[in-house]
Structure 1
Amino acid sequence: MSQLGKIPAALAAQSISSREIVLPLDAALECIDYCVRHRIPIYGWEGWVLTADGRVGHGSAPQGTVCLADWPLADAATFCRSTMTSDAQAWHDEYHATTDRLHFCITIGDAR
């Protein structure tokens, strides 16, 4: 099953990738909450940007986390929520004039 097939269709529909979970901040946080409720391991996240002309890439986006595969789910979720929120704020502060939109690529495992 693809990464997108592991989350609700309403969240998957917001992904800017057809293969990976790449969501705007609010949807990304909702995805983290969904993973916790359904015991789906969270392996980490990395930042992506969507440009005004539709290009997608890492560009100015935050680097994200190291692999959290060995972390307890609750700890990984808390860490992701915290770093995604703080890194989004820092990115918006630094690139306040950009037309780019920040997204978060979340990597998850299989439900336990």
Structure 2
Amino acid sequence: METTHWVDINLISVTTMYSFVEIISRSESSDEIVVAYTDAIELLYLYENDSTQICGWEGWIKYSDGSLGHSKKYQGTEDLSHMPKPSAIALAKSTIMQSHNEWQEKPEVENASLYYSITVNT
């Protein structure tokens, strides 16, 4: 199911590719949502249009053997729950994008991937 979202004052149309259920099904952890970059950004677009307040994000590393661990370099954000929802989502998006770009240029761990856990108030 595709949903069109309008973002920023220029009204750039962004089409979400996946539903929340589809993204969750790709989580690397059964205890929390740990997803790749594209799914993390997609998840933020979905949260933007519902009542969910995000608290922040943290970086995870998926090693070549399939194991997971917390990133030492990409700790994510502090608690964003005190911020207005649009500001919290904008900060999460920008810092996730920055971490992704840095990882692409110089990964923290060779032959590994950076994943993201986005925490929310439920």
TM tier, shorter chain? 0.7 to 0.9
Match for residue 99 of structure 1 among 92, 107, 111: 111
Q: TM-score, normalised by structure 1?
A: 0.85
* Gap regions ≥5 residues in structure 1: 1-6
Q: TM-score, normalised by structure 2?
A: 0.79
Q: In the alignment, which residue of structure 2 is the partner of 1:37?
A: 49
Judge conservation of contact 1:36–1:77 (CA < 8 Å) in 2: yes
Match for residue 35 of structure 2 among 10, 15, 23: 23
Q: In the alignment, which residue of structure 1 is the partner of 2:87?
A: 75
Amino acid corresponding to residue 40 of structure 1 in structure 2: T
Instruction: Pick the structure with more helix per residue.
Output: 1
* Gap regions ≥5 residues in structure 2: 1-18
CA distance in 2, matches of 1:77, 1:97: 27
CA displacement at 1:37 relative to structure 2: 0.6
CA displacement at 1:13 relative to structure 2: 0.8
Judge conservation of contact 1:61–1:91 (CA < 8 Å) in 2: no
Judge conservation of contact 2:56–2:78 (CA < 8 Å) in 1: yes
Give percent identity, aligned residues only. Answer: 29
CA distance in 1, matches of 2:119, 2:35: 11
CA distance in 1, matches of 2:98, 2:56: 15
Judge conservation of contact 1:47–1:104 (CA < 8 Å) in 2: yes
RMSD value over aligned CA atoms? 1.7
Who wins on radius of gyration, i.e. which is larger? 2
Amino acid corresponding to residue 110 of structure 2 in structure 1: T
Judge conservation of contact 1:62–1:91 (CA < 8 Å) in 2: no
- Say if 2:23 is the partner of 1:8: no
Judge conservation of contact 1:45–1:65 (CA < 8 Å) in 2: yes
CA distance in 2, matches of 1:33, 1:19: 22
Instruction: Pick the structure with more strand per residue.
Output: 2
Amino acid corresponding to residue 63 of structure 1 in structure 2: Q
